[in-house]
Amino acid sequence: DAKTTQPNSMESNEEEPVHLPCNHSTISGTDYIHWYRQLPSQGPEYVIHGLTSNVNNRMASLAIAEDRKSSTLILHRATLRDAAVYYCILDSNYQLIWGAGTKLIIKP
Amino acid sequence: GAVVSQHPSWVICKSGTSVKIECRSLDFQATTMFWYRQFPKQSLMLMATSNEGSKATYEQGVEKDKFLINHASLTLSTLTVTSAHPEDSSFYICSARDWDGRNTEAFFGQGTRLTVV
């Protein structure tokens, strides 16, 4: 199974940009890269996804390396409400393969 | 956006009893739904893939006779934990995707906190 590797945790200051890295060196050509986040005792929430090109939406940006072996989720201006566990996931044959995630801590 | 509703959000049951958890897609038809289990401070673990009108596909190590899945309609899947024991206490989450030929995002229910006493 294609897997992802993320740092266990990261800290950032409020109102500053946050770059969350993810390595997926075994990604196959058809695997999409998805990002979700989860607050305590809640179901995950979709953030963004892409295949090859960088993607932007109202929540974040996704920068995908040219060789697709890594990607970075960018929160342009973090708020306290962005504190959550962020999961970088490979969508392999429409099945999401979950890694351990990064706990993002936002300091006021 | 699309919504997946899961009910109940929490349940406490006695050891040996059964508990049913419902997962509904509110504004799209979900031919496939997914059931996950999550232990404290761990990631989601896929238990089974629920297919409308056919048998669920269980992941290795998940007992199909203990975790009964029924997906009788395009908007409803249920997970029944039979003869629950304290070790079944966990956070259960369902998910569905609106397949339209493109790679789309997954929508998740709010989760169900099961405590077996």
Burial of residue A102 (number of CB atoms within 10 Å: 0-12, 13-18, 19+): buried
Contact list in B for residue A100 (CB cut-off 8 A) is 42-43
Query: pLDDT tens-digit profile of A18-49?
Result: 999 999 999 998 899 999 999 999 999 999 99
Q: In the prediction, which pLDDT does B1 show?
A: 61
Between chains, do B43 and A45 touch, taking CB under 8 Å as contact? Answer: no
Pick A99's closest partner by Cβ from B34, B43, B105: B43
Task: Give the list of residues 6+ apart from residue B5 with CB closer than 8 angstroms, or none.
Answer: B23, B24, B26, B109, B110
Q: Would you say A44 and A37 are in contact if contact means Cβ atoms under 8 Å apart?
A: yes
How high is the pLDDT of residue B27? 87
CB contact under 8 A, B93 and A43: yes
Partners of B109 on chain A (C-beta within 8 Å) are 43
Does B101 have pLDDT greater than 80?
A: no
Q: Give residue A67's pLDDT.
A: 96
Confidence class of residue B28 from pLDDT cuts 50, 70 and 90?
confident
pLDDT band of A95, cuts 50, 70, 90: confident
pLDDT at B51 over 80: yes
C-alpha distances in angstroms, B41 versus A9, A57, A106, A108?
12, 29, 18, 24
Residues of A in contact with B32 (CB under 8 A): 94
Q: Are B110 and B5 in contact (CB under 8 A)?
A: yes
Q: Whole-number mean pLDDT of chain A?
A: 94
Segment B44-69 shows an average pLDDT of 92
Cα gap B7→A73, rounded to integer Å: 31
Q: What is the pLDDT of residues B84-98, one digit of tens each?
A: 999 999 999 999 987
| pLDDT above 90 coverage of chain A, percent | 86
